[in-house]
Amino acid sequence: MPLHPIVRSASLGVEHLFDRVLCVAGALLFSQAPEFMQQYQQRLEGHLDEARATLARFQAAAAQAGLTLDQLVQAADRNADPAMAKLGGVAHDTVLRVDQLAADDSALRGASIAARPFVFLAHADWKLARATLDIYRPALPTTLEGLCYALTGVMVFLSLYYLLVRGPVTRHLRRRAAARAAAAA
Task: Look up residue 73 and give its amino acid.
Answer: V
pLDDT on residue 92: 93
124 φ, ψ (degrees, to nearest 5)? -65, 140
Q: For the whole model, what pTM was predicted?
A: 0.74
Q: How far apart are CA 64 and CA 94, in angstroms?
A: 19
List the alpha helices (DSSP H) in the chain: 5-64, 69-78, 82-110, 116-123, 126-134, 144-161, 167-184
Count of residues making up the chain: 185
pLDDT on residue 2: 59
Is the distance from CB of 65 to CB of 79 less than 8 angstroms? no
Q: What is the separation of C-alpha 150 from the centre of its chain, rounded to a whole number of angstroms? A: 14
Is the distance from CB of 35 to CB of 139 less than 8 angstroms? yes
pLDDT on residue 18: 85
pLDDT on residue 117: 93
pLDDT on residue 116: 94
Nearest one of 51, 32, 28 to 40, comparing CA atoms = 32
Is the distance from CB of 58 to CB of 72 less than 8 angstroms? yes
pLDDT on residue 62: 93
Is the distance from CB of 91 to CB of 72 less than 8 angstroms? yes
- Parts of the chain with a pLDDT under 50: none
Nearest one of 42, 66, 39 to 137, comparing CA atoms = 39
| Domain assignments of the chain as residue spans, ordered by start | 5-180
